[in-house]
Homo-oligomer: A and B are copies of this chain.
């Protein structure tokens, strides 16, 4: 079985050595085995776990949620449905964020379109006016 030093596995995954130590600290990665020199050494399982973390992060899961996923994975009582619930929850969450951002986007577009004035002073800027409008 292949094994890697901390710098090697970090490079393979494309993360920082410090980040790996951080993952160990927050217990999303288990304490790795050590050589006599006290150097950490990692195996294929660690590699897979790190890649799982990376992929799940790309899916918008937080480290805390990824930890949950990984824990469910090793709990023998956990079902695939448990995982599905986490995924569904995350989906709702992301849909919510998309909705919010779209609203923001529309307001910004309206604001920007009202502005045709490179030379006008900020005194008469329609963007600022609109941001303030809701205030008056």
Binding site for B on A (CB under 8 A): 48, 51-52, 55-56, 58-60, 69, 72-76, 78-84, 87-88, 90-91, 94-95, 97-98, 101-102, 104-105, 107-109, 111-112, 115, 117-122, 124-128, 131-132, 134-135
Contact = CB atoms under 8 A, between A and B. Distances in A.
Nearest to A76: B121
Given A101-B98, A132-B52, A108 B120 contact: no
A81 B121 CA distance: 8
A122 B87 contact: no
Given A105-B91, A108-B87, A128-B69, A120 B79 contact: yes
**At the interface, is chain A mostly helix, strand, loop or mixed?**
helix
A131 B101 contact: no
Contacts of A101: 60, 94, 97-98, 101
Contacts of A108: 59-60, 87, 90-91, 94
Nearest to A114: B84
